[in-house]
Copies of this chain bind each other. A is one copy, B any other.
Amino acid sequence: MIGTRPAGQHTVRQHNSALVLGAIADGPGTSRAGLSTATGLTKATVSSVVDRLIAADLVAEGEPEQRVGPGRRGTVVSLSPSGPHGLGIEIGVDYLASCLVDLNGTVRFEEVRYADNRTPQVFHRVSAFLRKARKRAEALGVSVCGVGVAVPGLVESGLVRLAPNLGWRDVDLADRLGEAFTVGNEANFAALAELWHGTALPDFVHVSGEIGIGAGIVLERALFEGVRGAGGEIGHLPVAPGGPPCSCGANGCLERMAGQEEILRLSGAATVDDLVSALESGSGAALSAVSTAAGHLGVGLSTVVNLMDVPAVVLGGTYARLEPWLREPLLAELERRVPSTAWSPVRILRSPLGTGAAVRGAAGSVIRGVLADPEHYLTTHWPSDRDARGR
């Protein structure tokens, strides 16, 4: 029961700052008066809060409002383009990616570097890659207020518990690289990117098929993390009892049956590009491979949909590219296995974000943290910055 902290005036400031900043992020180009009606706070309070946000360069005043009719025009406020930026780093199995976003979530730059990361040198490589990204941010003249790192594995309170595809176990990235990070699961970050910048659904399960199969579950605009951060780990759900052995030791895991490797193997294609062309030209082997995988994916996803009552499935990563061919068999399997589809159908959507969803989510999570608690940012980052520059 205990675990909540005592509240004071600062708490209401925190809350209301976040409320106002959230309203600014939601409706770009609103005036203080508009914010007052949107948030329910008085004009006086909004002014006071906005002043502080402007001082912290989270918000910037813009042009006077364009509007017909009598009355003074309001001055538009919106998220400051020169405000703090978020840097995202993704450590994939065979690539590194970086991404810088501003407060709006706009991508300032993106970079991908292919390299096998299943070696002990990863940490040096990541460190160099991160330094390079920081340099580029500096060149743009923006300040990076945090770094989000996406890894293909199980993350528990900032610690990479297990990343089988990287061969990691209990890795403390912050410790290894001598820096504080927001470490998170790659699939979860991708789902968050989908929430923030993709199809604006409040409830969905985002599934991406890369080398592993990761799912990120979003319920009521919030990531579902499960008890120890392992919520939505569907890669090793058993979907084919007695099926072929998986690298994890079990048999017939979803990842083994519907992962990228299995699809390519079944279809005879060498790469995903080849697979797509084969599908487009109507190759029977390719079509049946994708259809089979869709069936297995449907089995796995049906448990998620049944249990959480999630009304939508978003296909990301490689699955997004295969969506035209996956959709039908996947939907059929879901309808067969999910009783509730009878009265509320499950939607299947293709993610508009590409393979860069995870990095973008990692970068976005940093600025999302600032937007969610500007007062915290203001008291921790701002004074030190000002001291460092001012003196």
Contacts and interface: CB of A to CB of B under 8 A. Distances in A.
Interface of A: 1-2, 4-9, 11-12, 15-16, 18-19, 22-23, 25-26, 38-41, 45, 203, 219-221, 226-234, 236-238, 248-250, 302-304, 306-311, 337, 339-340, 344
Nearest to A339: B236
A264 to B, nearest CB: 24
Contact of A238 (B45, B308, B337): B337
Given A12-B11, A25-B1, A38-B2, A309 B228 contact: yes
Given A303-B303, A309-B228, A9 B12 contact: yes
A1 B15 contact: no
B16 A2 contact: no
B1 A6 contact: no
Contact of A308 (B203, B231, B344): B231
A227 B16 contact: no
Query: What 8 pairs across the A-B complex have the smallest Cβ distances?
Result: A230-B309, A226-B309, A7-B12, A7-B15, A303-B303, A1-B22, A6-B40, A6-B41
A306 B232 CA distance: 8
Contacts of A22: 1-2, 4
A227 B23 contact: no
Given A12-B7, A22-B1, A227 B39 contact: no
Contacts of A307: 226, 231-234, 237, 303-304, 307-308
B231 A309 contact: yes
A136 B340 CA distance: 41
Contacts of A23: 1-2
Contacts of A9: 9, 12
B12 A227 contact: no
A45 B8 CA distance: 11
Copies of this chain in the oligomer: 2
A233 B309 contact: yes
A234 to B, nearest CB: 7
Nearest to A215: B307
27 contacts: A1-B23, A1-B25, A1-B26, A4-B15, A4-B22, A6-B40, A7-B12, A9-B9, A11-B11, A219-B227, A220-B227, A226-B310, A227-B309, A227-B311, A228-B311, A229-B309, A230-B309, A231-B307, A232-B307, A233-B306, A234-B306, A236-B306, A238-B337, A248-B339, A303-B306, A307-B307, A307-B308
A39 B6 contact: yes
A26 B2 contact: yes
A310 B6 CA distance: 30
Given A226-B219, A308-B227, A310-B227, A8 B19 contact: no
A8 to B, nearest CB: 6
A304 B226 CA distance: 11
A9 B230 CA distance: 38
Given A228-B344, A238-B302, 5 more contacts: A2-B22, A6-B40, A6-B41, A7-B11, A226-B309
A306 B301 CA distance: 12
B306 A237 contact: yes
Contacts of A228: 309, 311, 344
Q: Most chain-B Cβ atoms within 10 A of its Cβ — which of A4, A248, A306?
A: A306
A182 to B, nearest CB: 20
